[in-house]
């Protein structure tokens, strides 16, 4: 399954990536940010593009995800310090992502919402039919996001589902700066930080809620993502563990110590917001593994241990200092042209005064040059400012010889002012227009360059994925072609050798040195047929597999058993091979790392089992067809050719470490061979054989039996009057 995760690098994102990788799915990430923020460890491919990018459609076309998960309110790319502005950006991002998703005409879109859509108090648990009651810009944005998802589902037929997570909380990372969003919406972490910062916890017993730990939330999200179909378009996900602020504060105080006190702020009416998860539990089955008592204790110990990382205010002070410097820089940059204008006005004022009455410069208007200079360099704004200064300087110079009233009544003054402003504003307008055109061209070129870079990034990513898939399909051991090629090599072996080499091939394909194959002896017991190591033989030569309940329950349902609890009494993985609904073989695997115990590996084990089953069935059918020719007529004694072939196969497998076997030579003491064979056959197990050698000797083949264990069989034969000895070399 291809899964596209949309959101920032945070604890929820990392937990989902780990869960999906563990289950054998491929994760792609759309970061929503162009900057190199977050590592997104274990993600198959990362697309570092903002939500407003025009390349989202190409990204969806490249990934073609089966499931797209939009983190929504848990995406820290959205900074809600300015809720009005951020709500618009939030809606724009969701619209762009949903539009690109809808063009695929397939896949499922999961939108993560929260209990914040309910701002009132509710006496009972809130089910999906309850109308929302959002008041703040943030909560209204969440509700509007839900409405957008519903509209796309109704109008365009997309498979969209909304998951409302009830008071999601997690273990905060060290440092307040990167955890403001986490701590602000996390009552448990908020109380812990308040305790170490102030020495007390403020709690209101009238505030009641239910906390959902991040790991349990991710399990629920995965169930909704992996389900073949969904009955609803909206689900509430809650732990169902109801607690109030006072009870939570007491649990934290217990771990923090008596130096932390609780301030009872129980005022106002009851505020109760608890989501009802019955619909989700009924459809998927929701198990809560992380209870608030345990997590609150761990979180309190953790924050207390690393308290210095949560009370350090240097980051906040540094941010304020940087903001102040940035503000001052903006102010200075804006004032620089005005300061330059004032400074340049002084020499032009002096030049104009000297030019008055001069024979050569009397007709030269320095003020006009001054205004044109700033109009050409800065544009209309500075042209207007310089014209005002020039008018002031002109009037001041005229009042050397005339009164101010005379200057104001002189129409030449107004003609000169009009000339100055008209030329200055016209030139300034042209400068502004040229600057605008230049900037537009520059932005357009930059936009096209960015588009080209984005296309190159996507193409590079696609080429890398294509090459990886080619390697997986052609060269890797777990490709279907490679698996079939390897398992087909079983056809070259003799029918009696197939199961021995099946263990060897299975070990090669699952990349494990510890593999065992058990054959079903009856409805309760299975006998070890072959194993590749001593570790694979540790369960013993005979097991009562029906008593291994956890494994047997899954094998009976024809499913692969995965030992997620790492129980040493079970193999790490196991699969059963059936013939006509009867269990015939059990394949067991040890020695594989935890990260490979995934759904993908389980599916591969099933495929290998089917291919091995085909080879085994062909071998068994061949042996059944020749059964009359293999045994002496009317006896259970194998003919010489069949028995020697079987002994040779066992000895070869024993030399390769695939099995243990012992060969006994029986002293007939002149008795009839056929009669002795029938008597002794009744004293052996179903997995043992008795047969005639080409030189007339009678021998017994004891499978999965060491020389030490063979002593019991020798004594059993001796009690019936037959002497037998172990023969390491039987002359084959």
pLDDT confidence band for 163 (50 / 70 / 90): very high
Beta-strand pair 242-244/207-210: antiparallel
* Contact criterion met (CB below 8 Å) for 526 and 519: yes
**Inside any domain, residue 534:** yes
What are 484's two structure tokens?
Answer: 């079939």
Mean pLDDT in residue range 707-712: 82
Distance CA 471, CA 465 (A): 10
CA-CA-CA-CA torsion sign (185, 188, 194, 200): positive
Q: What mean pLDDT is reported for the chain? A: 81
* 546 and 669, same domain (yes or no): no
Which letter, b or e, does each residue of 14-50 get, where b requires 16 or more Cβ atoms within 10 Å of its Cβ? bbbbbbbbbbbbbbbbbbbbeeeebebeebbbbbbbb
- End position of a domain, from candidates 114, 134, 165: 165
Distance from the Cα of residue 451 to its chain's centroid: 28
Distance CA 556, CA 574 (A): 12
The domain of 649 spans: 628-726
**Inside any domain, residue 508:** yes
Residue 275: C-alpha distances to residues 112, 167, 205, 211, 304 (Å): 15, 9, 19, 10, 31
Listed as own residue / partner, the contacts of 404-410 with beta carbons closer than 8 Å and 24 or more positions apart are none
pLDDT of residue 264: 83
Distance CA 642, CA 495 (A): 11
Bigger pLDDT: 491 or 78?
78
Which residue's structure tokens are 């648990």? 125
Of 177-191, 272-286, 288-302, the least confident: 177-191
* 576 and 697, same domain (yes or no): no
* 413 and 561, same domain (yes or no): no
* 587 and 655, same domain (yes or no): no
- Which of 551, 548, 503 is CA-nearest to residue 525? 548
* 489 and 586, same domain (yes or no): yes
Distance CA 385, CA 241 (A): 69
What are 15's two structure tokens?
Answer: 């937990």
Type and span of the H or E element at 544: strand 542-544
- pLDDT tens track for 493-550: 555 567 677 788 888 888 888 888 888 877 788 888 888 888 888 888 888 888 888 8
Of 242-251, 360-369, 625-634, 635-644, the least confident: 625-634
Distance CA 397, CA 354 (A): 11
Of 75-79, 101-105, 413-417, 586-590, the least confident: 413-417
- pLDDT surpassing 90 at residue 634: no
Highest mean pLDDT among 59-63, 413-417, 447-451: 59-63
Mean pLDDT in residue range 422-444: 86
* 641 and 575, same domain (yes or no): no
- Which of 668, 609, 595 is CA-nearest to residue 637? 668
Distance CA 142, CA 139 (A): 5
Strand ranges of the sheet holding 45-50, from the earlier edge strand across to the other edge = 45-50, 26-32, 2-6, 67-70, 108-114, 159-165, 234-237
pLDDT of residue 179: 46
pLDDT of residue 493: 59
pLDDT of residue 178: 41
- End position of a domain, from candidates 118, 144, 165: 165
Mean pLDDT in residue range 565-583: 84
Distance CA 662, CA 654 (A): 10
Strands (E), 36-115: 45-50, 67-70, 108-114
Highest mean pLDDT among 341-345, 408-412, 623-627, 665-669: 341-345
pLDDT confidence band for 712 (50 / 70 / 90): confident
**Inside any domain, residue 570:** yes
**Inside any domain, residue 586:** yes
**Inside any domain, residue 241:** no
* Contact criterion met (CB below 8 Å) for 3 and 27: yes
What separation, in Å, do the N-terminal and C-terminal C-alpha atoms of the chain show?
53
* Contact criterion met (CB below 8 Å) for 50 and 32: yes
pLDDT of residue 335: 85
What is 606-617 written as a DSSP string?
HHHHHHHHHHHH
* 598 and 664, same domain (yes or no): no
- pLDDT tens track for 216-234: 999 999 999 999 889 889 9
- pLDDT surpassing 70 at residue 671: yes
* 389 and 332, same domain (yes or no): yes
* 618 and 635, same domain (yes or no): no
Distance CA 636, CA 689 (A): 9
- pLDDT tens track for 344-355: 888 888 877 777
Beta-strand pair 573-579/561-562: antiparallel
- Which of 539, 530, 536, 541 is CA-nearest to residue 514? 536
Q: Is 137 exposed, middle or buried (0-12, 13-18, 19+ CB in 10 A)?
A: middle
**Inside any domain, residue 175:** no
pLDDT of residue 538: 87
pLDDT confidence band for 316 (50 / 70 / 90): very low
CATH number at residue 10: 3.40.50.720
- pLDDT surpassing 70 at residue 483: no
What are 507's two structure tokens?
Answer: 């070990």
How many C-beta neighbours within 10 Å does residue 75 have?
23
- pLDDT surpassing 70 at residue 465: no
- Which of 543, 551, 490, 482 is CA-nearest to residue 510? 482
* 565 and 640, same domain (yes or no): no
Mean pLDDT in residue range 624-638: 68
Residue 244: C-alpha distances to residues 185, 202, 272, 451, 492 (Å): 15, 12, 9, 52, 70
Mean pLDDT in residue range 587-596: 82
* Contact criterion met (CB below 8 Å) for 382 and 341: yes
Query: Helix H segments across 78-226?
Result: 83-102, 137-156, 180-184, 187-198, 214-226
- pLDDT surpassing 60 at residue 181: no
What are 466's two structure tokens?
Answer: 């294509």
pLDDT confidence band for 313 (50 / 70 / 90): very low
Specify the number of domains making up the chain.
4
Which residue's structure tokens are 């699952």? 510
* 491 and 386, same domain (yes or no): no
**Exposure of 620 in the CB half-sphere (CA atoms within 13 A):** 11
How many C-beta neighbours within 10 Å does residue 605 have?
21
- End position of a domain, from candidates 398, 427, 448: 448
Q: What is the DSSP letter of 133?
A: B
Type and span of the H or E element at 272: strand 271-273
**Inside any domain, residue 180:** no
- Which of 287, 267, 319, 162 is CA-nearest to residue 220? 287
CATH number at residue 669: 3.30.70.270
* 618 and 632, same domain (yes or no): no
- Beta-bridge partner residues of 4: 28, 68
**Inside any domain, residue 509:** yes
């Amino acid at each position: 399954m291809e899964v596209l995760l949309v959101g920032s690098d945070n604890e929820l994102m990392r937990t989902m990536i780990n869960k999906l990788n563990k289950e054998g799915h491929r994760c792609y990430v759309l970061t929503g940010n162009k900057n190199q923020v977050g590592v997104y460890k274990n993600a198959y491919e990362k697309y570092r593009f903002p939500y407003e990018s025009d390349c989202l459609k190409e990204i969806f076309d490249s990934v073609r995800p089966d499931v797209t998960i939009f983190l929504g309110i848990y995406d820290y790319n959205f900074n809600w310090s300015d809720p009005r502005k951020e709500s618009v950006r939030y809606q724009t991002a969701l619209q762009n992502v949903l539009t690109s998703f809808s063009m695929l005409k397939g896949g499922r879109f999961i939108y993560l919402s929260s209990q914040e859509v309910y701002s009132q108090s509710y006496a009972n648990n809130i089910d999906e039919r309850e109308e929302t009651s959002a008041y703040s810009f943030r909560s209204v944005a969440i509700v509007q996001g839900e409405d957008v998802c519903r509209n796309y589902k109704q109008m365009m037929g997309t498979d969209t589902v909304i998951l409302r997570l009830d008071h999601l909380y997690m273990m905060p990372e060290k440092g307040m700066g990167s955890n403001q969003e986490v701590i602000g919406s996390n009552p448990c972490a908020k109380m812990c930080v308040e305790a170490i910062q102030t020495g007390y916890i403020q709690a209101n017993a009238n505030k009641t809620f239910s906390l959902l730990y991040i790991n349990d939330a991710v399990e629920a999200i995965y169930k909704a993502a992996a389900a073949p179909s969904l009955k609803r378009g909206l689900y509430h996900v809650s732990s169902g563990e109801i607690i109030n602020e006072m009870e939570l504060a007491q649990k934290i105080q217990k771990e923090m110590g008596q130096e932390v006190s609780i301030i009872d702020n129980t005022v106002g009416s009851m505020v109760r917001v608890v989501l009802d998860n019955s619909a989700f539990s009924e459809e998927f089955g929701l198990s809560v593994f992380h209870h608030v008592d345990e997590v609150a204790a761990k979180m309190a110990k953790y924050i207390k241990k690393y308290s210095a990382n949560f009370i350090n205010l240097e980051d906040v002070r540094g941010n304020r200092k940087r903001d102040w410097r940035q503000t001052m820089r903006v102010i200075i940059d804006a004032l620089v042209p005005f300061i330059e204008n004032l400074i340049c006005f002084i020499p032009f004022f002096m030049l104009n005064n000297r030019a008055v009455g001069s024979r050569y410069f009397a007709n030269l208007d320095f003020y006009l040059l001054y205004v044109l200079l700033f109009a050409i360099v800065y544009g209309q704004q500075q042209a207007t400012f310089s014209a005002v200064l020039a008018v002031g300087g002109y009037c001041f110079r005229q009042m050397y010889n005339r009164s101010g009233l005379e200057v104001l009544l002189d129409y030449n003054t107004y003609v000169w002012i009009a000339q100055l402003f008209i030329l200055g504003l016209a030139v300034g307008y042209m400068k502004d227009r040229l600057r605008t055109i230049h900037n537009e061209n520059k932005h357009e070129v930059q936009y096209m360059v960015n588009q080209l870079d984005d296309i190159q990034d996507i193409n590079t990513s696609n080429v890398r994925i294509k090459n990886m898939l080619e390697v997986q399909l052609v060269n890797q051991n777990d490709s279907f072609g490679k698996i079939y090629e390897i398992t087909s090599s079983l056809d070259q072996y003799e029918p009696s050798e197939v199961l021995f080499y099946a263990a060897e091939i299975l070990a090669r394909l699952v990349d494990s040195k510890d593999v065992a194959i058990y054959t079903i002896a009856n409805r309760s017991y299975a006998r070890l047929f072959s194993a590749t190591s001593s570790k694979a033989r540790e369960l013993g030569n005979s097991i009562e597999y029906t008593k291994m309940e956890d494994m047997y329950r899954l094998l009976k349902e024809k499913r692969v058993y995965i030992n997620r609890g790492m129980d040493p009494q079970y193999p790490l993985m196991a699969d059963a091979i059936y013939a006509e609904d009867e269990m015939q073989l059990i394949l067991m695997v040890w020695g594989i790392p935890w990260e490979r115990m995934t759904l993908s590996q389980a599916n591969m084990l099933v495929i290998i089992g089917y291919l091995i089953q085909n080879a085994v069935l062909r071998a068994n059918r061949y042996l059944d067809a020749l059964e009359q020719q293999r045994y002496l007529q009317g006896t259970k004694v194998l003919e010489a050719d069949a028995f020697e072939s079987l002994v040779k196969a066992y000895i070869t497998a024993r030399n390769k470490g695939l099995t243990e076997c012992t060969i006994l030579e029986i002293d007939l003491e002149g008795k009839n061979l056929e009669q002795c064979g029938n008597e002794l056959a009744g004293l052996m197990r179903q997995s043992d054989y008795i047969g005639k050698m080409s030189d007339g000797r009678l021998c017994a083949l004891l499978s999965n039996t060491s020389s030490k264990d063979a002593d019991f069989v020798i004594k059993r034969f001796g009690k019936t009057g037959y002497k037998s000895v172990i023969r390491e070399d039987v002359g084959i």
